[in-house]
Amino acid sequence: MRLKGNVTLVCTFLLTAYALAGDVQMVIIPGKDIRGTVFKRLGLPNQTYCWEQCLEDARCTGARWGVVAGSTAGQCQLMSGEFTLIDPHEIKTEDGQQIRVIASRKQASGKQNERIEG
């Protein structure tokens, strides 16, 4: 009986955690980059993993995803606290390949997508 109670408790916790995570989403900031405090850098296979990492971490307020043109794997920079919107600038690798940066922020799911001005 005790095992059944523990399993029920774990399942309840997991469902609650999933519901809380479902209350926020990542929103792309079109035509802008962001500058702020990076608390974690991750090499990941695609942008979805980057966003999942931000959504799972309470400190994360936004993310920068940098990827070499034509690739899906890239670098994820998780941001904490306030960040500043900046104009995008050209970034290249040492061998001259273009790096595309996508800036995004964490937003409550029920919130209307308001226009973000820089």
Domain ranges, ordered by start, for the chain: 2-107
- Could you tell me how far CA 50 lies from the centroid of its own chain? 5
Helix (H) or strand (E) holding 77: strand 74-86
Contact 64, 9 (CB under 8 A): no
Mean pLDDT value across residues 76-99: 95
18 in helix, strand or coil? helix
Mean pLDDT value across residues 64-70: 95
Q: Where does residue 46 rank: exposed (0-12), middle (13-18), buried (19+ CB within 10 A)? A: middle
Give me the pLDDT at residue 109, please.
83
pLDDT tier at 1, thresholds 50, 70, 90: very low
Residue type, 42: L
Q: Structure tokens of 54? A: 């931000």
Give the span between the Cα atoms of 72 and 47, in whole angstroms.
Answer: 8
The domain defined by 2-107 folds into Hepatocyte Growth Factor (3.50.4)
**Residue showing tokens 């936004």:** 62
pLDDT tier at 18, thresholds 50, 70, 90: very low
pLDDT tier at 22, thresholds 50, 70, 90: low
Mean pLDDT value across residues 13-18: 40
pLDDT digits (tens, 9 = 90+) for 88-110: 999 999 999 999 999 999 999 87
- Whether the predicted pLDDT of 56 surpasses 50: yes
Radius of gyration, CA atoms only, the chain: 17
Give the span between the Cα atoms of 4 and 25, in whole angstroms.
Answer: 34
Model-level pTM? 0.74
Q: What percent of the chain has pLDDT over 90?
A: 70
- Whether the predicted pLDDT of 118 surpasses 80: no
